[in-house]
Each structure stands twice: as C-alpha cells, then as structure tokens.
Structure 1
Amino acid sequence: MAKRPASSSGHGDMPIDSGGATDGLEDASLFDERLFFAHQPAKTALRDRPAKSPSTPANAEVHYHGHRERLRNRYRDSGDAALADYEILELLLFRLIPRRDTKPIAKALLARFGTLGGVFGAPANLLQEISGVGEAVALDLKLVASVAQRMLKSEITGKPVLSSWKALIDYCHSAMAHETREQFRLLFLDKRNALIADEVQGLGTVDHTPVYPREVVRRALELSATAVILVHNHPSGDPTPSRADIEMTKTIIDTARPLGITVHDHIIIGKNGHVSFRALRLV
C-alpha cells in the first residue's frame, strides 16, 4: 500500500504511530524544537511570539511571551544577581528554543544535573535525555561551556601559573570536574613557569587512567618545558588521592628530576573541590 505524502504541518518532534510507517517523515530523534519551527510560516513580526492555533483568539497572548520580556528586563536592569540559576538558564534557552515555554526545561536540566556547571559539563547525549532538548540545543549548550573554558584558559596562558593559582584551579575545574571518565592532563611550563601547553595525555574509565611516566617526560622534552603540573579528575566527586595516585606521582618525579624537569604539583579535581599534592606535602 502506497504511503500518503508527508504533511508539512505535522509535529516533527513527536513520534507517529502508524504501524511502523512514518508517513515520509524522518526519525523523530533527528528533530528538535528549532528544526520544527524553522519550517513553519511566520505568523507575527514579534521575535518570540509563537503562531497561534485556529482556536486561539486573535488578540490572545501565549502565557510565556510576557514572561520572557519581564525576565529580559530584570536581567537588563539588575544583572545576573537578580536571577536564580534556573532563570539564567531559561534566559539562554529563549535563544536556543524560540517558541516554547523553556522554564520547565531549565528546571528539568538543573534537577537532573544539579548545578549550572553540571548542566554545561554534562555530555551531549545525556542532555538530550531531557524532554525538549534535541541534538542542536545540546550542542549549543556545549558550545557555551567551551566558550567559558576558553575564557578561563586565557587567564593563565602565557602567565606565571604559580602566581595565578586560583585562575588555574578555576580552569581545571571547568574543564574536568564534570567529566564522566578520568582524564590525565599535563600543564607544561617554561622557565618562567608560564603555561606553554595544556594537553590531555590519557582518557580512562570511571576510576582509572593509564599513565606512562616516560611519555610525560618525553613530551616535556619535546616542548622544551622545564616544569610540569599533573592534573586528573575523579568522576566520583571525591578528590582524595588513592595509593596508586601517590605512587604514580612519585614515579614521574623520579623520572623527570635527572633531566632537569620539575613536577610542581599534582592536582586532583572533584565536582565539589580539589586536592593539591603540594599542599598535602606529597610533592
């Protein structure tokens, strides 16, 4: 039996139950809120006013339209201090999802991931598990996270890291605290202790990353680095060093020292804090 043509007015973000047929529409997972509305004819000159259904009175306002303007005005007049975290996220989602009430989506994201940092640090595939967040919106949220990380990294690049310690910790926390697997990151420094390279040497599992001390030293020599800071994360959230962490750090120090390379510190990043081996007198 021939399939009937796909309707241009069907809701692209809703699955269609037709006994296995999709009436010519692509898989619903490929659609998100913006893609659906990109194909709809414009109904109004106002940026955020959605099209009204035939049953909606001509002079009626969709309930969230005025809310968006009030929230924008509060931010414009008083800055971010006047807004709760979910409202900041909602304000961003206005741009990503132009014609949908985004307050429930913002609250659902925070309920799932805990904090704004958790939302922006979450993997794109997990973000898409929230109703209303498609692939494009998830990637836009990750783009915001990337911009924030680049901004923080710019505060330490080319500067003496040891005198910019808070900026260094902020950057490492932004880059690693919400990763679901362990990362082993190397910060290579020149003779002024300025950052010359920031590299992830290894990715591991939820509780282990293989580290090769000779590779750490080899890369430092390639970059003409005279010092290095080791950084890795604990996806469990607890930054307490393990016995293996301590032994691995000692091995790297012993391998690097004869070649004139100093290990300034080993930092472990957790969701709620960090641990410095130097502060613990383990380096």
Structure 2
Amino acid sequence: MVSVSSLMISDVAADEALAPIKTARKSAHAHHLGHRERLRARAKAGGLVALPDYELLELFLFRAIPRGDVKPLAKRLLTRFGSFGGVLGASIEELCTVSGIGEAAAMDIKLLHEATLRAGRDKIVKRPVISSWSALLGYVRVALANESREQFRVLFLDKKNQLIADEVMNRGTVDHAPVYPREVMRRALELSSSNIILVHNHPTQPISITLDHAPNR
C-alpha cells in the first residue's frame, strides 16, 4: 500500500527535478523575445538599409514564425540560395526543403518577392520606356536575375512606347528557351501593340540579361 505522504513527496521531487528545465525554457523564451525587440529597435533607429541581409530576412520571418530564434534559419536560407535575391526567387517547393521553413513562411517570402516585382513594374507602367531605361533594366533584373531556367518574355508597348503588358512567353532549361515568333506576333496584335521588347536571361551567367527592341510592323 502506498501512502498519500509518499505520493506527495514523489510529486515534490519530480517538480524539483523539472524546475531547472522549466527555468531554462523560460529564460530562452525571454532571450528570444528580447532579441526580437532589440532587432526591431535597431531597424527603427538606423533604418532597414543598415541591416545585413540575414537580419533583414530574420526580421521578415518574425511574421510567419512568432516564436523561437530564427537567426539560424535566416542564415540557412542565405547559404542554400546564395543571396537575399536568391531566397526571394526560390519557389515555394524549394523553400520548403530548408529545415524550419513551412508552407506559411514560404508563402510569405514569395509575397515579398511579388511585392518587389510589382513595385519595380510601377516605375515603368504608363511611362515612355525609352526615357525610363534604367527603371526598365532594374525591373527585368529583379524579375529574371534569380531564375534557375532560361525564360523568354515580351514587353508589349503602345505607340508612345508605354508598357501595355509584360508576359512570359516560354520557360526552357538552364541554357535554352524556345521562341515562337508567330505566337509573339499573335499576342502583339491582340494587344494592339506597336512595339515590343524581347527579354531573356542566361542562368549560367550571373545577372546576364539580353534586351532586344523591335517595332511591330
């Protein structure tokens, strides 16, 4: 027969044994919270531009991963994909291969990528492309620099050289993307485009993008 007093002693002993573990967990949780607040404070005081890539990525990951230390995860992402732009350009499937990244975090990263693309597109939409050439180059670099396969896309322009549409016409392999002139011209006629800019990248050559400007006659 086991007495009540012996059970109470056992419970007390168990609590005492677990106390250091509970204390360590609370301490780690408080440390992570403190680190997040310090990082936010530094970003606010010095501006986001002053943060290194891993801290900027870490700050963004706070949204999808509300608890824990995400600094090692941010560094793993940068190591895996080579750069901040490489992380943004990775697919959801590729991002999810990194330990610690789930579908929600991967979707958040792709959301940031899409927002970056749209911000770049805003600089050239409804502006004469020739007079905004630097903005055009910046936009296509963001859109294509981190593509792992060759991509052929067309910028369709109106009579004033203003952008009507930017469309991916084909995706190929790492060193080849087929081009079908008939499809390009058919789409140009559908959009009543007067000029087109043909864009394709070379994934085997870092940040190598070719632009060809041609009137649609």
- The TM-score normalised by the length of structure 1 is 0.64
Q: How far is 1:204 from its partner?
A: 1.4
- Work out which of the residue numbers 108, 121, 127 in structure 2 matches 1:159: 127
Change in 2 beyond 3 A, CA 1:103/1:215 = same
- The aligned counterpart of 1:117 is 85
Paired with 1:59 and 1:112, the residues of 2 have a C-alpha distance of: 31
Output one character per residue of 1:68-113: Cα deviation in whole Å (capped at 9) or x when no partner: 1110000111101331110000011111101121000000111111
1:141 aligns with 2:109: yes
* Mapping 1:68-217, distance limit 5 Å: 68-217=36-185
2:207 maps to which of 244, 249, 272: 272
Distance 1:82 1:208 in 2: 39
Name the CA distance, whole Å, in 2 between partners of 1:105 and 1:166: 34
1:187, distance to aligned residue in structure 2 (A):
0.4
After TM superposition, give the deviation of residue 54 of structure 1 in Å: 8.3
Q: 1:61 to 1:133 in 2, by over 3 A?
A: closer
CA distance in 2, matches of 1:277, 1:148: 24
Structure index of larger Rg: 2
Shift of 1:274: 3.4
Distance 2:20 2:165 in 1: 59
Match of 1:26 in 2: none
Q: Is 1:60 matched with 2:27? A: yes
Aligned-pair distance for 1:59?
Answer: 6.8
Residue type of the partner of 1:159?
Answer: R
Q: Which amino acid aligns with 2:177?
A: T
Report the residue type matching 1:154 in the other structure: D
- Given residue 196 of structure 1, which amino acid in structure 2 is its aligned partner? I
How far does residue 272 in structure 1 lie from its aligned partner after superposition? Answer: 2.8
State whether residues 124 and 135 of structure 2, in contact with CA within 8 Å, keep that contact through their aligned partners in structure 1: yes
List 4+ stretches of structure 1 deviating above 4 A. 275-278
Flag the structure with higher helix content. Answer: 2
Q: Is the 8 A contact 2:202 2:209 kept in 1?
A: no
Q: Which runs of 5+ in 1 are unaligned?
A: 1-52, 239-270, 279-283
Alpha-carbon spacing, 1:275–1:221, altered in 2? closer, same or farther (3 Å): closer
Judging changes above 3 Å, is the alpha-carbon distance between structure 1 residues 276 and 183 closer, same or farther for their aligned structure 2 residues?
A: closer
Partner Cα separation in structure 2 for residue 82 and residue 202 of structure 1? 38
1:216 Cα offset (Å): 1.4
Matches of 1:145 and 1:77 in 2, distance apart? 25
Shift of 1:215: 1.8
Structure 1 CA distance, aligned partners of 2:97 and 2:52? Answer: 23
How many residue pairs are counted as aligned between the two chains? 193
Taking a change above 3 Å as real, the CA distance of residues 59 and 129 of structure 1, as seen in their structure-2 partners, is closer
Q: Which amino acid aligns with 1:272?
A: I
* RMSD of aligned residue pairs (Cα, Å): 1.9
